[in-house]
Structures are given as C-alpha cells and as structure tokens.
C-alpha cells in the first residue's frame, strides 16, 4: 500500500453516504442508479468541475468498505482508481486488484493500528452495516451525508436501525445545482 506513511498528524475518519430524502441508501434490489438522476436544476446551487472533483478525490488516502459494497462496486465499475481500499469481510476472497486488501477482525484495531500510521484522510464509504458499526464504536470523526432529491419508499436504511441518540455538530452545507445537498458534521467534542 502507498499513502501518507510516517505522518505525525492525527488521522480523520470520514463517513460518507448518499441518502434519499426518506433515508435509504439503496433500493431493495440494491440498485443505486437513482443517485445518477438529477432533479430539476436548483439555480442558486453550486456546480463543481471534473478537475475540482479529481483534486478532492486525490486528497483521500484510503477507502474502507463492507464486503457487500465491494461486490456492488465491482459490478457497477470500480470508482476508486488506485487509491488503497480496505474491504472488511470475514470471508476468503480471490485475489483482487493491487490497491485492495481484505480485513477481518476488530474495527478499532483496523483504524488505530493498521490505518492511522499510514493514512491521514480515511473514508468509510458504506454500506449501512459497516457504517453502523463504525458509529457504534465511536470511530467516526466526520459525517458527510449527501441527500439526493428523491423519495424511494423502501430499501436499505442509512446506518441500519439501532443507533443510540448522539449529537453531531453541523460544519458545512453545500447545495448543488443538480438538487443534491451535502451536509458535513463533526463528532461532538471533536
Ligand atoms: N448510497 C450510498 O452512499 C451507498 C454507499 C455504500 C453502499 N451502498 C449500497 O449499500 C449496499 C451494501 O450495504 P450493506 O449494509 O448491505 O453491506 P456492507 O456494509 O457494504 O457490507 C456488509 C458486510 O461487511 C462485512 N462486515 C461488516 N461489518 C463487519 C465487522 N464489524 N466485522 C467483519 N465484517 C464486517 C460483512 O462481510 P462478510 O459477510 O463478507 O463477512 C458484512 O456482511 C449495496 O447495495 C451498496 O450499493 C450505498
């Protein structure tokens, strides 16, 4: 793996998800194509160029995801380039691309022992099950939640269903021209 090895700065774990207005991250058939369909143009919103997106993604040192999200990403077409990806799974997997490694075990150990010494900007990108576990364990520093302008009615619930009450601090809101809104929060006390 490459990355920010040897940096003294503290790592940040950012949890990023895209949710429908009614709190689903995938349809019952797992499809996420609703994310690609913009609503009507929101004139006051911002738009970002491909170059800005590329620069933003460049700053992410490592992605962490559950095995179901990994399987779905393989099906849809790998969106993570050569950025290191850790797939959390208790199963055996066939050899994958060079940037991917599999991890089975305690998630706090994953973050503190395996990732923190190597990476500063760590993104947990789903799915519901893994994100719920990261939140339960208090391993998340920031939540970036993008709300898509669509009601799905049913599907896979954002963060699963059994988190306890916890306050987060709103840090930023960005409304995009395509009707998506990105909400950024930091953990209370962070
Ligand atoms: N809208 C969005 O932003 C977004 C983002 C990501 C994913 N998604 C969608 O969400 C769906 C997948 O989410 P999901 O909740 O079903 O699954 P998931 O969280 O992606 O993966 C669950 C799997 O991860 C492994 N896992 C999770 N926690 C673990 C732990 N503490 N220790 C060990 N292994 C652990 C297990 O793998 P094993 O069974 O292999 O042991 C578990 O079955 C897909 O449809 C995907 O497209 C949507």
* Nearest Cα residue to 3 out of 82, 72, 78, 80: 82
Residue 96 — pLDDT band, cuts 50, 70, 90? Answer: confident
Rounded to whole angstroms, the Cα distance separating 153 from 175 reads 23
Average pLDDT for 165-189: 94
**What is the predicted pLDDT for the residue at 12?**
97
- Given a cut of 80, whether residue 53 has pLDDT beyond it is yes
Q: How far is the CA of 173 from the centre of ligand 1 (A)?
A: 27
Q: How far is the CA of 88 from the centre of ligand 1 (A)?
A: 8
Among 30, 77, 129, which residue has the most ligand 1 atoms within 8 Å of its CB, making it the best to mutate? 129
Average pLDDT for 53-57: 92
Provide Rg for the chain, Cα atoms. Answer: 17
Q: How far is the CA of 69 from the centre of ligand 1 (A)?
A: 5
Q: Give the strands of the sheet with 181-187, arranged side by side.
A: 100-103, 85-88, 62-66, 121-124, 12-19, 142-147, 181-187, 168-175
């Amino acid at each position: 793996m490459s990355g920010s090895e040897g940096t003294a700065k503290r790592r940040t774990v950012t949890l990023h998800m895209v949710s429908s207005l009614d709190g689903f991250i995938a349809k019952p058939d797992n499809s996420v194509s609703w994310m690609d369909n913009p609503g009507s143009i929101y004139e006051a919103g911002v738009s970002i160029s491909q170059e800005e997106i590329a620069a933003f993604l460049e700053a992410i040192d490592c992605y962490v995801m559950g095995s179901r999200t990994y399987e779905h990403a393989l099906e849809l077409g790998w969106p993570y380039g050569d950025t290191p990806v850790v797939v959390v799974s208790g199963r055996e997997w066939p050899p994958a691309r060079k940037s991917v490694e599999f991890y089975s075990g305690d998630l706090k150990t994953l973050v503190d022992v395996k990732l923190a010494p190597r990476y500063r900007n760590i993104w947990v990108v789903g799915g519901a099950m893994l994100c719920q576990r990261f939140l339960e364990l208090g391993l998340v520093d920031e939540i970036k939640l993008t709300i898509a302008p669509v009601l799905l009615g049913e599907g896979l619930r954002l963060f699963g269903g059994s988190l306890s009450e916890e306050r987060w601090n709103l840090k930023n809101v960005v409304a995009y021209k395509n009707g998506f809104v990105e909400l950024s929060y930091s953990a209370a006390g962070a």
